[in-house]
Structure 1
Amino acid sequence: MEKIMSEQEKNQENLENAEELTQKANDTENSAEQAEPADETASDALEEAIARVQELEEQLAETAKKEQDLLLRSRAELDNMRRRAEQDVEKAHKFALEKFSKDILNTIDNLERALATPANKEDEAVKSLFDGVELTLKELLATVARFGVEPVGAVGETFNPELHQAISMQSAEGFETNQITVVLQKGYLLNGRVIRPAMVMVAA
């Protein structure tokens, strides 16, 4: 009888232990189920944070690129402005004498006409006068040449509409077509730019 009671007690104890283990297993499962949504929430938050960081990095890279482009354009524009300013200064230096040079050309023309005037050069007074005029003309031409003024238009040259102004065209013996036969008035350049075209007659 005692043995039966002992077996019953033992079975009762085992049953209680089994129920306790089952309860613990259920508690553990419930805890896992509760933890799973928390893990999913944390994972979603992490992914959202990573996506936001990537978005910010892309925005930062785009902003840096725009700033770099703006900087390059600003530098290029500054270089262009500097070059234009240097060119303007250079042109101002080169062509500052243009108006003065044009006025001097009239004096040169008058001296050349004076030398072309027929006169009795055997007379010492006339000869001295001509020599003085010729010397003055040479000195004046040398002076303006030092400042970039040079004559254009000579008999025998090929007609160039950028340098010459044709008054008439007519056939002339010993000249080819478009050759200058007569120079009515010399032309002049100032540092390579025409300040007065030559007035010429051209062979047809």
Structure 2
Amino acid sequence: MATLTPTRAAAASAPKKATARRDAAATREALVQAAVDEFSRSGFAGARVDEIARVAGVNKQLVYHYFESKQGLYLVALESVYAQIREKEQALSLGALEPVDAMTQLIGFSFDYLAEHPEFIALLADENRNQGQHILASERLKRMHSPFIEMLERTLERGAAQGVFRRDMDAVHLYISIAGISYFFFSNNHTLSAIFGKSLGSKGALVQRRRHVIEFALNALRP
């Protein structure tokens, strides 16, 4: 019977280790995605670890193996949805566009992202009910905002230098305003539709609101 040398034994075990790492990464990703769905639907308090594991197709104990606790999984779920929007914002490459075009793209993107990701709105609403305690515990989330705010500041500076934007606009306040006028429309869409007696979730209503949000924000930026 042939005996593997140490070199051959290491080579033979390498594919197994690589497969194990891929499987672990896939399992972790499946748990995070299932957690985003469950937490956005039921909130942190109402979400069940059993259900998250069932949807991910794994043993419940793996939740604790990878994330230590339900709270640990919730924090990673929050980080993942924030990471997605921050990555897409960075990909906008605002610096390559003229200031007005850059701001138009940013505002339109912010509106479209909320329209396409109701789970993001639901998770934010739940985290606000919890007074932001999980976000406060995440250094990663705090770091995510800095590069984007810096990109926004540079766009404002370029616009002010060209005379198309006012010079006293604060980037953080601007970002909050842009996000706020879109967020409220989606987070309260059902009640707003009921109050005004028309479907504000229809395709036509979304197109009209998107145009208004862009024009409203750009008007606020003009000197």
The answer to whether TM tops 0.5 is no
Answer with 1 or 2: which has the greater Rg: 1
Indicate the structure with greater strand content. 1
Give the TM-score of the pair, scaled to structure 2. 0.25
Indicate the structure with greater helix content. 2
Give the TM-score of the pair, scaled to structure 1. 0.27
Taking CA–CA contacts closer than 8 Å with sequence separation of 6 or more, which of the two structures ends up with the larger relative contact order?
2
